[in-house]
Structure 1
Amino acid sequence: MERAVADGGLGPGDALPPVRRLADELAVSPGTVAAAYKELRGRGVVVTRGRGGTVVAAAPAVASRRPPKVPDGLRDLAGGHPDPAFLPDLPGLAAPSSGPRSHRSTPRLPRLEERVRAWFDGDGVPSECVTFAHGALDCIARLLTTELRPGDAVAMEDPGYHHLLDLLQAMGLRTIAVAVDDEGMRPAELREALRAGARAVVCSPRAQNPYGGCFSAARRDELVEVLRQAPEVLVIENDHAAEIAGAELNSLTGGGLSRWAQVRTVTKYLGTDLRWAAAACDPVTLARHDGRLLLTSGWVSHLLQAAVLTLLDDPSAQLLVTRAEATYGERRTTFVKELAQRGITAHGVSGMNVWVPVRDESAVVNGLRTRGWWVAAGARFRMASAPGVRITVAGLGSAGAARLASDFAEVLGESEATYGG
């Protein structure tokens, strides 16, 4: 069955035969088939829907779900990428010292660790315990792996970051959707997720992808109050666009939570090839993360750490980051206003993306494609939330924003005519 999923013979949502029927066909015991189905669930290949039977998971672990290739001649606003004009040149790498060596005993460059502590401290995030990883997803995956087992539930933003949703599916973890608005996760829905058995919460304090929300101080306080009622739950903040979010940080991590981590990376503003992340966390979480890291890669490349440190200390690079944050904010605000002038509601109070609710995602995506735009259908980001499309505005100037908004309005008009108003 894994081979069939990997080869495309079985696709997402396809039903597996009932246990007894397959046992009869293969001349094996029902217990053997049931054990195989249990193994497939543990690997994230299939899910069970009660009376709906067992079906292939939406993003099975044995299959890859890379975004579709951008067709030739289209303006790509679907990838979530920064504007290359605001990315600094990567520094040259010094040759490593000769001879065999291991950095397991000193995995973090002291100067970079000091710089990271100041980075977190500046935003009010406790920095007594910090660690490094190979990007935000790598860090979050390791944190969840050390805490949870297949079948455990994680409270996730809805709509939320599609790669993270796919990752949890591949790990065999269940997701419980928590609705978001312009201020982030909604407290009532989070409370329900915890009551439903969520053992971890993953959220974005700002630049939420794809919705663009950010925690207000009031929303932060409400969420902390909910989370204090579940001290055993691990809370992970993914502050992936910290320096270019265009919004202040109102972090959950300073609220006295027992188990927490905040993860930051630099790929959106220092370079997409800098697969490095820093995390501040509680002592237990640090020990478990670093213990697992020690047994796998051992440490994050010191050459990579040196490159990050050079850029963090480079005034010209930091000037580009400052300009990027201001420019992205202007472009995001301009596009939202252009849509509003045409009667279209959109969301995007921080970050590089704008979420536009629509009735028919396919009609909008295909309609914009015929006009030269490539945007992301919301289906990849959603669990239970209403349809929409995500548009990355990092490289969208004012003239482009006006033209895209006009094209968007025309596409919506055509869609409404198709469906009879």
Structure 2
Amino acid sequence: MKHELLFFERDAFYEYKEQQLADGYEIESISKYLLDAGNNDIFANFDHTTHIIDITALAVGFYKEVQMLGEQIFEKFTNEDTIFIADKKHEEALRYDLRHCFINFSNIEIEPHDHKQGDHNQPNSKSITSKYKKITDLTDDELDVFFQKFRETLYGHEKFKDNFEELVKNFRVFNKLGEHKILSLFLMGESGVGKTEVARTLHKCFGGEKKLAKVNFGNYSSEFSLSSLIGSARGYIGSEDGEIFIRIRDTDVGVILIDEFEKSNATLFNYFLDVLESGKIISSLAEEIDLDGFIIVFTSNISKENFTNKISPELRSRFDYKGLFTLLYNQDKRKFVEFRVKSIIKKYNTEFENKLNENLFEYFLSQINVAKYNNMRDLNKKIKRVFVDYISIEYPEVQTDNGSFLKIARKLLGKY
């Protein structure tokens, strides 16, 4: 018999995985060994000092004879110190079916990142807070500050900002009542008018330190799109994590951007209908991530007329907000130029000794005719070109340890 089977809480799995990676362990699924059980080499080559086996696959309904299969497979792992883990959701079934395979059954204790082992007075307790910053967690005062920052950072679209504030206030009330899990926004309009910037601004206003969870559906038009999004069915080695699970796992803010939603297909439309109804995303392996309190921003380049043709009535009714984004006014474009120039100057001044004046944005405004630009991405490219030209002329001697200014400029300007 093996020594012990450890159970993890699903919400804490990825934190546990990160901690184990830091300790030199990699977690892999038992499915790899189940599918090649006759190959004794893979068991002989297994290193219990660097790998942990997740046996959740045994319990999700794909294998009928769990007890018999377990007794056969676990004896192939010859070292008694091999670490086995499983989703706590299946604890009752696995404790019984694998009673002849393990001596002990215990729960995994996750240590918070800012504590060392031994700091807790109660070793069996866990102290894990939500990893996501969400609109439902803000106090009323914090929400007021959030709205003010959102209005200042997102340029134009004043009517949308008004509607968004009202939506959020209603959402927070009904979310607390358990009647509204996800706040969903469907934004239509031409490319470059600021639809995706809504999600980026939300992420920024929350103070996100990790990347925004973004999935571009321009890559999801094939028949295998659902598998790419939520993971392939069990049996396909190495494809258990779908893109949306990876993106959400790697962010710290409860905001998801689904870009170019109209380029997908009916299968994914139906999947998101279920997501908005249940408040959860579910993988092909029946793993779940609770999106309670999240905001999902769907963007699309389709027209208002094509919206009703492309999106089913059931899904349309699930969107909390449906709006058409139009071109920004010149006044808003000038505010955008001021914001971008000040942002670039701030980055520049941290890299170079010769400091630039923040009021330099007035020079940029004199060099850029904002009326010529309807697409904000094109306007941003123009700002970058003018900035590089200005530095090249005014400060030709600028050099850094990393090479010429043009090289460092790529780092400063980045991708907007």
Structure 2 length as normaliser, TM-score?
0.31
Higher RCO (C-alpha 8 Å, min separation 6): 1
Structure 1 length as normaliser, TM-score?
0.31
More helix per residue: 1 or 2? Answer: 2
Please tell me whether Structure 1 or Structure 2 has the larger radius of gyration of its CA atoms. 2
